[in-house]
Chains A and B, each alone.
Chain A
Amino acid sequence: MVKAKIYVQLKASVLDPQGKAVTTSLHAIGYERVADTRISKYIEIIFDETDLAAVDTQVHSICDKLLANPNTEHYHFELETME
Chain B
Amino acid sequence: MRVSVITFPGSNCDQDALEVFETRGHTVHSIWHKDTDLQNPDLVILPGGFSYGDYLRCGALARFSPIVKEVVAHAQRGGYLWGICNGFQILTETGLLPGTLLMNNTLQFICQHQYIRIETANTPYTHGLRVGTALDIPIAHKEGNYFIDEPGLRELQDQDRIVFRYCDADGNIAPGTNPNGALDDIAGICNTTRNILGMMPHPERAATDSVSSNDGKQIFRALEDYFTTRA
Contact = CB atoms under 8 A, between A and B. Distances in A.
Nearest to B93: A69
Given A17-B181, A66-B56, A71 B104 contact: no
Interface residues of A, number: 11
Interface stretch (B23-31, B35-43, B95-103): B95-103
Given A18-B107, A72-B147, A66 B102 contact: no
Contacts, number: 34
B100 A17 contact: no
- Report whether over half of chain B's contact residues are helix, strand or loop; otherwise say mixed: loop
Interface string B137-167: 0000000010111000000000000000000
B107 A21 contact: yes
Contacts of A1: none
Nearest to A14: B147
B103 A18 contact: yes
Contacts of B102: 14-15, 72
A15 B182 CA distance: 11
A71 B107 contact: no
8 contacts: A17-B103, A17-B105, A17-B107, A18-B107, A66-B60, A69-B60, A71-B147, A71-B149
